[in-house]
Amino acid sequence: MLQLRDVRVVIDGHEIIRIDELDLAPGSRLGLVGESGSGKTMTAKAIAGLLPDESKVSGSVIFEGQDLLTLNDREMSKVRGKRIGFVFQDPARSLNPMMRIGKQVSEAIRIHSDLKGDAVTAKVIDLLHQVQLPEPETLLRRYPHQLSGGQQQRVMIAAAIAADPDLLIADEPTTALDVTVQEEILRLLISLSEERKMSLMFVSHDLGVIRFVCDRVAVIYGGNIVESGRIEDVVAHPMHRYTAALLAANPGMPKDDNFSAFIGKRLQTITGSVPAVGKFPSGCRFRNRCLSATDACSTMPSPITTGNDHRYLCWNPGDRGQS
């Protein structure tokens, strides 16, 4: 349903994103994971057509057979919201503080449908029910500041699914929320994606959260997808050394374990920090932080694919963490 091929984003002469291949199957939930500054948001923005004006983009982003990178702004704004919904990290900044909740959700409905008057209000109430907000009839007259962070994020999700999109892209939607609220919102996203057969691209720096929500994962570092596959395969046998280091820092939570006991826990930190744009080494971008780097790593490894589409780019793969 969504295929990225040779997608490059260059800003001010610096290559921020270079993704040779990334796929999302219909109905599936793909996690995009990496430390802060790895290129997760830029990837989501490249798909959404929301990159900064100075960006140069090439390659293809094929969504349901259509290359989104060939669409103009007007065509793209029809895809955004209607066929692909978006939810971002900070609900307080995404909502208009001066506008009542009902109006904000009804705008999303009006833009993408022919509904009018009472039919719109009925749809708003139905959507607020679907995101499990209490007393929607009262809530729609409230302003954002009268809602908790978790309730605000539910409103954002209601607006994002208003036009019944086939794909929802959620960029760190729960990072700003405390852990119990986080778990409720994640469960809501899982049930909405299952009930509506809506694919989900879920962006997070936390592998535990990704394992809770997703069936597949793509690991991003320096704007490159360094490893991808079924979440259980990647967690059990990480092949790229960056994935292994991420797992050592956050082992990810088995699906049936206690959420709050696992989420956000850091066991180790990864050596060094993510370089600034333009400061990455040549070849494998993780080379200056990798304890297993060899001379070969100064050139970019070719992708290797094993069973279940487990794909990685590493000269010295291994699944026992950094050694």
Ligand X SMILES: Nc1ncnc2c1ncn2[C@@H]1O[C@H](COP(=O)(O)OP(=O)(O)O)[C@@H](O)[C@H]1O
For ligand X, the binding residues (CB under 6 A) are: 11, 16, 34, 36-42, 52, 277
- Rounded to a whole number of angstroms, the minimum distance from the CB of residue 3 to ligand SF4 is 25
Q: Given the rule CB under 6 A, which of 36-44, 119-127, 150-158, 236-244 is the region that contacts ligand SF4?
A: 236-244
Q: Which helix (H) or strand (E) holds 77?
A: helix 73-79
Please tell me the distance from the alpha carbon of residue 167 to that of residue 35, in angstroms, as a whole number: 24
Residues forming a β-bridge with 50 = none
Q: Are strands 56-63 and 66-67 parallel, antiparallel or unpaired?
A: antiparallel
Considering only residues 252-291, where is the footprint of ligand SF4 by CB under 6 A?
A: 284, 286-287, 290
Query: Binding residues for ligand SF4, how many (CB under 6 A)?
Result: 14
From the list ligand SF4, ligand X, Mg ion, none, pick the one residue 293 interacts with, judged by a Cβ distance below 5 to 8 Å according to partner type.
ligand SF4
From the list Mg ion, ligand X, ligand SF4, none, pick the one residue 39 interacts with, judged by a Cβ distance below 5 to 8 Å according to partner type.
ligand X
- Rounded to a whole number of angstroms, the minimum distance from the CB of residue 242 to ligand SF4 is 6
From the list ligand SF4, Mg ion, ligand X, none, pick the one residue 11 interacts with, judged by a Cβ distance below 5 to 8 Å according to partner type.
ligand X
| 321 binds ligand SF4 per the rule CB under 6 A | no
| 297 binds ligand SF4 per the rule CB under 6 A | yes
> Which tokens go with 254?
């088995």
From the list Mg ion, ligand SF4, ligand X, none, pick the one residue 289 interacts with, judged by a Cβ distance below 5 to 8 Å according to partner type.
none
Contact pick of 20, 92, 316, 321 for ligand SF4 (by CB under 6 A): 316
Considering only residues 18-77, where is the footprint of ligand SF4 by CB under 6 A?
A: none
Dihedral, CA atoms, 50, 56, 58, 61, nearest 10 degrees? 0
| 80 binds ligand SF4 per the rule CB under 6 A | no
| DSSP states along 142-206 | S-GGGS-HHHHHHHHHHHHHTT--SEEEEESTTTTS-HHHHHHHHHHHHHHHHHHT-EEEEEES-
Q: Are 92 and 152 in contact (CB under 8 A)?
A: yes
Contact pick of 205, 241, 310, 311 for ligand SF4 (by CB under 6 A): 241
From the list ligand SF4, Mg ion, ligand X, none, pick the one residue 211 interacts with, judged by a Cβ distance below 5 to 8 Å according to partner type.
none
With both helix axes pointing from N to C terminus, report the angle between 149-161 and 101-112 in degrees, rounded to the nearest 10.
20
Q: Are strands 216-221 and 199-204 parallel, antiparallel or unpaired?
A: unpaired
Q: How many CB atoms lie within 10 A of CB 53?
A: 4
Q: Point out which residues bind Mg ion (CB under 5 A).
A: 40-41
Q: Which of 171, 8, 149, 187 is nearest to 84 (CA)?
A: 171
Q: Which residues of the shown chain bind ligand SF4 in the complex (CB under 6 A)? A: 240-242, 284, 286-287, 290, 292-293, 297, 301, 314-316
